[in-house]
Amino acid sequence: MADLVFVYGTLTDDAQVAALLDSYRVVGEAVCVGFKRVDGRYPTLVPGESVSGRLLETSEIDRLDRYEGVNRGLYHRVSVSLASSLTASVSATTAEVYLAAPNVIGLGSLEEYWPGEGSFRARVDRHLGATHIERIS
């Protein structure tokens, strides 16, 4: 079964995706509402207005997890809801998104970017209700 993944950094480059994945499909350009991109050692998303990227479909989510350093604690994979206008055309209700804690990628403290209390993952989980992904082309 294939997963949808919203990408906003190096994986928006066709050559990079082709070098990493054996099987994928570019679904189209998209915007993730409720997040903005910030750049440290690597890019990540934090609460904000919106960020442009693209949707990929792949059955190689484990390979993406390795690339994004999920097992090393570099990035965390979360599910973000798709706008209803998008769900019918992709037969899914969510897309996976990779987020890094700001302090892990050299951006400063967690509190500067993620309001509230608790762990990074708890703060992200609370914010996910205010986010969704829309197709733009």
Residue-range domain boundaries for the chain: 3-92+113-135
Residues 5-14, mean pLDDT to the nearest whole number: 96
Burial of 124 (0-12, 13-18, 19+ CB in 10 A): buried
**pLDDT tens-place string over residues 90-106:** 888 999 999 999 999 99
**pLDDT tens-place string over residues 48-73:** 999 999 999 999 999 999 999 999 99
Residues 125-137, mean pLDDT to the nearest whole number: 90
84: pLDDT confidence band, cut at 50, 70 and 90? confident
> Fold for domain 3-92+113-135?
Hypothetical upf0131 protein ytfp (3.10.490)
- What does the DSSP 8-state code read for residue 52? E
Task: Report pLDDT for 137.
Answer: 61
3-state SS class at 83: coil
Task: Report pLDDT for 73.
Answer: 94
| Amino acid, res. 131 | T
Euclidean distance between CA atoms 97 and 37, whole angstroms: 12
* Ranges of H-type helices in 1-137: 14-20, 61-67, 84-90, 110-113, 120-127
Task: Report CA 67 to chain centroid distance, whole Å.
Answer: 13
Residue written as token pair 């994945």: 21
